[in-house]
Amino acid sequence: MFNDVLWLAGGLVLMVLGADGLVRGASRMAARMGISPLIIGLTVVAFGTSAPELAVSVEAAARGQADIAIGNVVGSNIFNVLFILGVSALITPLLVSAQLIRLDVPVMIGVSVGLWLLCIDGHLSLADGVLLFGGLLAYVGFLIHEARSRPAEAGSEADEFLQGSQSVAANVAFVVGGLALLVGGSHGFVEGAVGIAAAFGVSELVIGLTVVAAGTSMPEVVTSIVAAVRGERDIAVGNVVGSNIFNILGVLGLSTLVALDGIPVAASVVAFDLPVMIAVAVACLPMFFHGGTIDRWKGAVFFFYYVAYTAFLVLRAQSHDALDEFSAMMVYFVLPITALTLIGVTWQELRRRGGAVR
């Protein structure tokens, strides 16, 4: 058990360091090739924070541990919105750009629903993997087109990564070293996660949805919270939305391609966890639309639901006597109140904007 914890912690440290090195090296190399900072920020930097998810899911898929591969992605997407945005908004209210509301959040909702549809038959096939990864290429292509049409909007996050640009050899070393740390760290992390699941008698799916998902989301945690503290509050939101899109299209797409026979999807994921991921993505629209900010009370709502989701997973894994009462309270009391609140704030915002137009 102790060795498994060491594998998990050591693997996580290596992955975080590897992701940082990979992003820094790749960003600076792209800058030297004349690629604009905005394009770098929208692609290399945003997707680079999802490198641990990619490394872990691909490693798990190659080893035939499908529950960890898909649980990592679904759990990370839920964690990114509910925990990271929740905590970041509790620190300081977050700004939401119009593009996120108009384009990126609808894309996140669309790919989330699309993933659920692909998983209904209980299996992600090789063709599904090609479709998902093709969607990522199309999305990145669109981002690059949009960035080139607005060259003046350089991203401050990208600028931060480009500061102190080093020699070509040093940047190559960052990329190669980062990849090596990611590969080695992901192997140790998966090894530790599997061992912990076996020691506690918990399924690999639950470990993937919780421990692995939270661990691989550490780069997003650091990026969003630091951005919020520094006042770069739009970055905190954009980082989460972009990472969620990449997790579905890139991470699961590549993982399915690596597992040549495809990835089996547990019935509980199709029936519960994927719908939760979709609901979380859909909830972002009214939350972001209202006032164009994520206020502290919205952050508290997000954080509460992450705690409730995690509690449900733990109770379900243990077949606890309190599971039925907890589920009933959420379904018949908490969720309806939340739904009415979201409808109310959306209606209020529509009336406010309608009055402003007149």
**Distance of alpha carbon 64 from alpha carbon 83, whole angstroms:** 29
pLDDT band at residue 234 using 50, 70 and 90 as cut-offs: low
| Mean of pLDDT values over 102-120 | 94
DSSP string, 180-218: HHHHHHHHHHHHHHHHHHHHHT--HHHHIIIIIHHHHTH
The two structure tokens encoding residue 328: 């009933």
**Dihedral angle, C-alpha 139, 144, 149, 150, nearest 10 °:** 100
The two structure tokens encoding residue 234: 């739009």
Residue type at 266 in one-letter notation: A
Contact between residue 219 and residue 83 where contact means Cβ atoms under 8 Å apart: no
The two structure tokens encoding residue 242: 């972009």
Q: In Å, what is the CA distance from 358 to each residue of 56, 341, 352, 354, 355?
A: 52, 26, 10, 6, 5
Backbone angles phi, psi at 63, to 5 degrees: -90, 0
What are 182-230's pLDDT values in tens digits? Answer: 767 777 777 787 787 778 777 888 888 888 888 878 777 776 776 677 6
Which among 257, 209, 189 is positioned nearest to 77, based on CA atoms?
Answer: 209
pLDDT band at residue 157 using 50, 70 and 90 as cut-offs: very low
Residue type at 183 in one-letter notation: V
DSSP E strands: which ranges in the chain? 94-95, 123-124, 263-264, 293-294
pTM of the complete model: 0.81
What are 238-265's pLDDT values in tens digits? Answer: 878 888 999 999 999 999 999 878 899 9
**Interacting residues of 267 by C-beta distance below 8 A, sequence separation 6+:** 122
Mean pLDDT of the chain: 82
Q: Domain 2-353 is of which CATH architecture?
A: Up-down Bundle (1.20)
**Distance of alpha carbon 87 from alpha carbon 322, whole angstroms:** 27
Residues in the chain: 358
In the chain, domain spans: 2-353
